[in-house]
Structure 1
Amino acid sequence: MTVFILVPGMFTGAQVWEETAARLAKAGDEVHTVDLTGLGAARVAEPTDVDAPVDLETHIADVLSVIDALAPAPGREIVLVGHDYGVHPVMGAADRRAERVARIVCVDSALPRDGVPALAAVPDQRLREQMAERGSAERGELPPPVRDEWQRWGSTAGVPAAALDRLTDLAAPQPLGTLLQPLRLTGAVAVPTTGVLCTGNGTSIELVRMLVGMGDPALQVLTAPGVTFFELPTGHWPMLSCPAELADVLRKAAAGEGNRLEPADATQPPAHLRPFLLDVPDLPRERIGNVDLYLPAHAEGPRPAVVFVHGGPVPADARPTPRDWPTLTGYARYAAGEGVVGVTLDHRLHDIADYERAAGDVAAAVERVRADPRVDADRIALWFFSGGGPIAADWLAAPPTWLRCLAATYPVLAPLPNWGLPGGRFRPAEALAHAGALPIVLTRVGLESPEIAATVEEFLAAATGCRAQVEVVDVPNGHHGFETRDPTDESREAVHRAMGRVLGRLRP
């Protein structure tokens, strides 16, 4: 028999699991739902020590008490399931009772790491910063969302109105200590783990695969043999939007089923470091701070420039840094071979919370390029890639006269639902109404992840509505990062077409 222990996320109690728990029980499984101290029904229980702060250790103890109350028996396998914040007490408890736990299931939440508080996973970036400033000694509470604010904590796609009302009515303030106290793991025993990714909240197996391919050592654990993944086409609360489907996935996860990520082939470079698909001139670079210039071989007088802006987030310790990646250097050398200055740069988009800082880095780099006497400051193009796409919103909202063209290749053109970016600054579709006659060249890949593809379609719909000048270059059989992943004639032709469109806007 499988024993499921279901742990809720922020602001919520055991009641969120009711329908999923009922379906698991009907299938013959033993099910226990946990009310974490200070939340759900446990909030009104008689406190044992009114002066004791509620922190992450308190909630780990809550989960441990459920595990310890279960008598060991042959064939009785415990599966710990954590949603959202709930994955942190689940991981802490599994670390201390590894011999009792058969599997951990993370429902639409990242795998916690030793020494990192749950605060790091809070999607609202501004709120995260405010709470971090209060310090770990804070004993206060974070008020629960009102009905229209749940979207700040994750997509509510698929949640019925009545369920959202009940979620709001039963929500409780989250003790700040649970978010600020770092998780401590011994790592002595690796418990098999399954991630249930909710695509309506902006996560998918393909996105995880792309992140793992970036080479971040912290993510390599996701390729371990005991790690599996499932997807659900819904928002952040699948226990409310599709409880039957979630119950089915949990039972499959308990059986060890699911998709697995292949570990990197040590004999081959990761996809983003494979050779560029075109033969381009081997022109030298000139490095100035965080900017590299690729100059035409025999240029006379100031030349136009194309500034290539990489995506991300990219780990701060990634080597080589993006300005040395084959895709960026390939495009820059291609541009220089055509008589314009090709520019690559490094910006500090190391985390979703870094967009403001990265946008500042890009703006400063552009001004440095324009100030170079070898560059025609009145003929500049900006070309954004992948997760760098949201930065384009700044230039669409108020395009300067010297910006002759803006290009974007397999871009993310709206923050994904689980990013939690506040305000409207980094939303290119909204900024597009102010772009005027600025020419835009968009390279779209046919094998894009649905989450990113949806942002591109939103952008194109906005372009139609405001009659923006958008030229689309399609790569029907191309993947995200096709320049190093798909060295086909179709891909090469797409790069030629996109470059031709951009250079055509820079020439007199």
Structure 2
Amino acid sequence: MTAFILVSGMFTGTHIWQDTAARLTEAGAEAHAVALTGLDGPRGTSASGIDLETHIADVLAVIDSVGTAADRKIVLVGHDYGIHPALGAAGRRAERVDRVVHLDSAMPQDGVPALAAVPDQSLRERLAGAARDEPADGVLPPPAHDEWRLWGSTEGVPGAALERLTALAAPQPLGTLLQPLRLTGAVASVPTTGVLCTGNGTSIEMVQMLVGFGDPALRALTDPRVTFFELPTGHWPMLSCPAELTDVLLRAAAGEGHRLQPVDAAAPPPHLRPFLLDVPEVPRQRHGNVDLYLPDAQEPRPAIVFVHGGPVPADARPTPRDWPALTGYARYAAGDGAVGVVLDHRLHDLADYERAAADVAAAVELVRADPRVDADRIALWFFSGGGLIAADWLAAPPRWLRCLAATYPVLAPLPNWGLSGTRFHPAHAVAKAGALPVVLTRVGLEMPEIAATVEEFLAAAEDCGADVEVVDVPHGHHSFESLDRTDESRDAVHRAMRSVLERVSGRDVP
């Protein structure tokens, strides 16, 4: 017998589990939805004294009520915020819990409050500021009907279910978000499963890519006791696809699921594999966080600034400006007469787009001030998650910006990134790009959640008549320059580079 203990997320209570719990029971399992203090029960209850520890105690009470039968497996399921009290309880009953399921939730760390997982950056900052000035006895009002998308994608949720979700939503006690989570070492011994909702912006492929960057915090995800599933839906699968969620939970309890590939210390990770083209060795000069690859020329030359993606862990070594793909592009540009520029910017977390954008702007000014650069002929080339930074340059392109390029870019914030209300939205900004030429390299085997942002951008570009050239790599993956050493990939790099060089230099490039 498996007993599933279901812990709901922010603003929600036991009601969201009704359909899933019924299906689990029909399948022969037990299902216990946890009534979290302040979120379940009569409305208008004071939030005074309700904090994360209160909710951990609520989960512990259900664990203890299930009993201790030797043949009974306990699986804790934490959705959204609910993973915080679930993990807190699992650490104190590790001998009783067989598995913890992260249902489209973050990876909480010891000592970090649940506030860190709130998707809206401005709201995080406001609540953190309020916590410094006054006791955390207040509440965060629940979203209105049309505001749920700010907390996660509502893809697949029927209209009637969304109306009920809104009607039954409860204010979230601030203490539950502001009190740091305290994890015991015992929780590390409990097997885990991540259920990723791709409609909310996360996939197994994306997690595997992040693991490849070498982030120590993600290394534990390659443990064979950690499994993953994907659901093609938004952030509330218990409302959008309860049958599919039930199947996944049963399979997770049985130890099934995808396992990530561990990083092979003897082989370079994808982002450190050699560039797919032979490019010339050219002089490189380092200026702070900016590297210039210089052509053999006497007069000032155009420059192409290559902007890496991310987020990239702050302690990743080597840093992006030494990654072979980026240095390969820069050397290619220098070999054809333009100054190639690679920089390190500080996009280490999704909350870092402001400072990363400032780093890019400062690097561009440094480059334009260099006497070897024609300050009136600059191109910017964005990769992957760095694509969101392109919004600034699309929204107000300066006269000296002769071309903007993007390769396998993210061109609209993913639903769970918390950036939907910010300026970092190229699919919106392209309407203001005017005559600025855009060269977009699109890969056919892109992660679906990123591919959707590219299509959104292209649709917006078509509506406003923007000058966009698409270079397609039908069989290419994200980071194809390192992964796909094919003639198709080489041709795509040649075509994109030729287009950018022609626009930035004002001459034909063979």
With structure 2 as the length reference, what TM-score do the two structures score? Answer: 0.96
**Where does structure 1 lack aligned partners over 5 or more consecutive residues?**
none
Match of residue 488 from structure 1: 486
Alignment of 1:164-179 (within 5 A): 164-179=162-177
CA distance in structure 2 between the partners assigned to 1:51 and 1:242 by the alignment: 32
Deviation track 1:115-135 (CA, whole Å, cap 9, x = no partner) reads 211111100111011111123
Displacement of 1:43: 5.7
Match of residue 311 from structure 2: 313
Displacement of 1:111: 2.0
Letter in 1 for 2:181: L
2:87 to 91, 101, 114: 91
Alignment of 1:53-72 (within 5 A): 53-72=49-68
Displacement of 1:166: 1.1
Does the Cα contact within 8 Å between 1:84 and 1:108 map onto a contact in 2? yes
Does the Cα contact within 8 Å between 1:126 and 1:422 map onto a contact in 2? no
Alignment of 1:220-299 (within 5 A): 220-296=219-295, 298-299=296-297
Q: Secondary structure at the match of 1:41?
A: coil
Does the Cα contact within 8 Å between 1:409 and 1:444 map onto a contact in 2? yes
CA distance in structure 1 between the partners assigned to 2:459 and 2:114 by the alignment: 37
Q: Secondary structure at the match of 1:135?
A: helix
Letter in 2 for 1:38: G
CA distance in structure 1 between the partners assigned to 2:444 and 2:281 by the alignment: 30
Displacement of 1:439: 1.0
Deviation track 1:221-253 (CA, whole Å, cap 9, x = no partner) reads 111101111111111001111111111111111
Match of residue 473 from structure 2: 475
Does the Cα contact within 8 Å between 1:81 and 1:106 map onto a contact in 2? yes
Displacement of 1:281: 1.4
Letter in 1 for 2:413: P
Alignment of 1:180-219 (within 5 A): 180-188=178-186, 189-219=188-218
Match of residue 123 from structure 1: 119
Q: Secondary structure at the match of 1:157?
A: coil
Match of residue 135 from structure 1: 131
Does the Cα contact within 8 Å between 2:9 and 2:82 map onto a contact in 1? yes
2:345 to 319, 344, 347: 347
Match of residue 331 from structure 2: 333
**Where does structure 2 lack aligned partners over 5 or more consecutive residues?**
none
Q: Secondary structure at the match of 1:444?
A: strand
Displacement of 1:317: 1.4
Match of residue 421 from structure 1: 419
Displacement of 1:422: 4.7
The percent identity for this pair of structures is: 76
Displacement of 1:427: 1.2
Deviation track 1:309-331 (CA, whole Å, cap 9, x = no partner) reads 01111111111111111111111
Does the Cα contact within 8 Å between 1:114 and 1:182 map onto a contact in 2? yes
Match of residue 11 from structure 1: 11
Does the Cα contact within 8 Å between 1:36 and 1:42 map onto a contact in 2? no
Match of residue 367 from structure 2: 369
Does the Cα contact within 8 Å between 2:304 and 2:341 map onto a contact in 1? yes
Does the Cα contact within 8 Å between 1:125 and 1:422 map onto a contact in 2? no
Displacement of 1:185: 1.2
Deviation track 1:388-423 (CA, whole Å, cap 9, x = no partner) reads 001111111111111111000000000001111153
Letter in 1 for 2:191: P
Q: Which moved more, 1:316-325 or 1:131-140?
A: 131-140
Q: Secondary structure at the match of 1:69?
A: helix
Match of residue 394 from structure 2: 396
Letter in 1 for 2:364: V
CA distance in structure 2 between the partners assigned to 1:233 and 1:36 by the alignment: 28
Does the Cα contact within 8 Å between 1:60 and 1:90 map onto a contact in 2? yes
Does the Cα contact within 8 Å between 1:379 and 1:403 map onto a contact in 2? yes
Q: Secondary structure at the match of 2:298?
A: coil
CA distance in structure 2 between the partners assigned to 1:70 and 1:301 by the alignment: 78
Does the Cα contact within 8 Å between 1:294 and 1:332 map onto a contact in 2? yes
Seen in structure 2, the aligned counterparts of structure 1 residues 302 and 478 have a Cα distance that, compared at 3 Å, is same
CA distance in structure 1 between the partners assigned to 2:97 and 2:48 by the alignment: 29
**Structure 1 outlier segments of 4+, above 6 Å:** none
CA distance in structure 2 between the partners assigned to 1:64 and 1:278 by the alignment: 58
CA distance in structure 2 between the partners assigned to 1:431 and 1:135 by the alignment: 35
Does the Cα contact within 8 Å between 2:47 and 2:139 map onto a contact in 1? no
Q: Secondary structure at the match of 1:119?
A: helix
CA distance in structure 1 between the partners assigned to 2:205 and 2:261 by the alignment: 12
CA distance in structure 2 between the partners assigned to 1:442 and 1:425 by the alignment: 20
1:100 lines up with 2:99 in the alignment: no
Q: Which moved more, 1:419-428 or 1:247-256?
A: 419-428
Does the Cα contact within 8 Å between 2:38 and 2:47 map onto a contact in 1? no
Does the Cα contact within 8 Å between 2:48 and 2:137 map onto a contact in 1? no
Displacement of 1:141: 1.0
Letter in 2 for 1:97: R
Does the Cα contact within 8 Å between 1:37 and 1:43 map onto a contact in 2? no
Match of residue 443 from structure 1: 441
Does the Cα contact within 8 Å between 2:226 and 2:259 map onto a contact in 1? yes
Q: Secondary structure at the match of 2:244?
A: helix
1:431 lines up with 2:435 in the alignment: no
Q: Which moved more, 1:392-401 or 1:136-145?
A: 136-145
Does the Cα contact within 8 Å between 1:40 and 1:170 map onto a contact in 2? no
CA distance in structure 2 between the partners assigned to 1:506 and 1:245 by the alignment: 51
Letter in 1 for 2:76: L
Q: Secondary structure at the match of 2:375?
A: strand
Aligned residues: 503
Does the Cα contact within 8 Å between 1:310 and 1:388 map onto a contact in 2? yes
